[in-house]
Amino acid sequence: MKPLRIYFKNFWGGFPAHSNIVTYALSINRNIEIIEEQKQALDCPPDIVFHNGHAKERVPGALNISWIIEHILSDRREIPDYNICDYSLNSCNFDDPRNHRLPWWSCQINWYAASYVDKLLEENPNTLFCNDNPSLESIHNIRLELRRDFSSIDSGRGPYSFIDLDDLYRSRTAENVTQRTRDCCSVASHDMGRRADFYPEISKHIEVIHAGKFLQNKNKDAPGMVGKNYREKITFLSNFKSHLCFENDNTDGWITEKILHAFCAGCLPIYWGPANIQKDFNEKAFINISSFSSNQEASVYIKEVINNNSMLSDYMTQPIFPNNQIPYHATPVALNDFFKKVGI
């Protein structure tokens, strides 16, 4: 089988071209070759080019796909230009058969983890992983590579800090969270969305440590450190009963890593964002600010939950995902089905 030559164009330094959700999906039933350098792509043109964000110019002779990680339906972004790209992947919902919604939070998961691979093979026994080394051993080797990547990321936001699903479920227990002594924290850099009006209100009712640039009040008495990457952020969050995870806005489908990190740290997420959050996460497992009539009403309720171990435990014993399984649309299988549908 001739390999499909794949090139990730204009992605950030350290982008894991060999071990991300797109590469994983393409490796199901396909033999692929990752082009490492731009010169290599020029010398021997790729079959598929994934552009970081909006494609600015086509790569001749290749299928051009825009992978838009930041949301595109606000005043700051526009629908992809399909005169330049053939298809698009993005975090948001909009009605076009050339687009596949790929939530950013799902890109944070280590899909190569043994438990997920085993489950995929159990449900689809004819699945073949056709990568450089078409064997389960290679998948497990990549898993070890991901663990190394996770610990070595040192960029400002650590765009890829992979989370094992096993670790995600293991960290979320009622006993774990009820033993914590700190009420709540936030890690926000910008005054966006509903942060400016809600954060000061909730701070009147419970202790909130603001560890980001926005409203920062973290001092030497606050536990842990936020650090430079997502792993250190999750370690910091694990000191608190709850975490304010507000999106920058509520664009339809724009659900980032924020709520996933709260779950991974064993916190109760206090969330604001798109109205369709329940399509991705179990609405009984977190507090959704949008369901309250006022900031004060929400704050009074949150205080009650934080100070009542029984109510807190009720949230923590709920499954993270609807029907206790990751939604199909957020999985590599769905992405692979999209690729097959468009003829890849």
DSSP assignment of 61-122: TSEEEEEE-S--SSTT-----TTT-SEEEESS----TTEEE--GGGGGB-TTSHHHHHHHHH
**pLDDT score at 65:** 97
Mean pLDDT by 10 residues, the chain (344 residues): 90 84 89 82 85 90 90 59 94 89 90 69 61 45 46 38 74 87 87 85 92 66 56 87 93 90 94 94 96 97 97 95 92 94 94
Contact 156/228 with Cβ under 8 angstroms?
A: yes
Q: Where in the chain are all domains bearing CATH 3.40.50.11660?
A: 173-319
3-state secondary structure of 272: strand
What value, to the nearest 5°, has the Cα angle with vertex 79 and ends 50 and 274? 100
**pLDDT score at 267:** 95
**pLDDT score at 69:** 81
Copy the structure tokens of residue 184.
């709540």
Contact 86/49 with Cβ under 8 angstroms?
A: no
**pLDDT score at 54:** 85
Taking the C-alpha atoms of residue 103 and residue 253, their distance in angstroms, rounded to an integer, is 7
Taking the C-alpha atoms of residue 113 and residue 163, their distance in angstroms, rounded to an integer, is 9
The torsion angles phi and psi of 112, rounded to 5 degrees, stand at -85, 0
Task: Just give the CATH number of 173-319.
Answer: 3.40.50.11660
Taking the C-alpha atoms of residue 221 and residue 211, their distance in angstroms, rounded to an integer, is 12
**pLDDT score at 152:** 39
Copy the structure tokens of residue 340.
């097959």
**pLDDT score at 135:** 44
* Residue whose C-alpha is closest to residue 247's, from 288, 282, 210, 217: 288
* Residue whose C-alpha is closest to residue 201's, from 302, 296, 304: 296
**pLDDT score at 223:** 52
Taking the C-alpha atoms of residue 216 and residue 194, their distance in angstroms, rounded to an integer, is 16
**pLDDT score at 188:** 78
**pLDDT score at 155:** 33
Q: Within a 13 Å sphere around the CA of 314, how many CA atoms are in the beta-carbon half?
A: 10
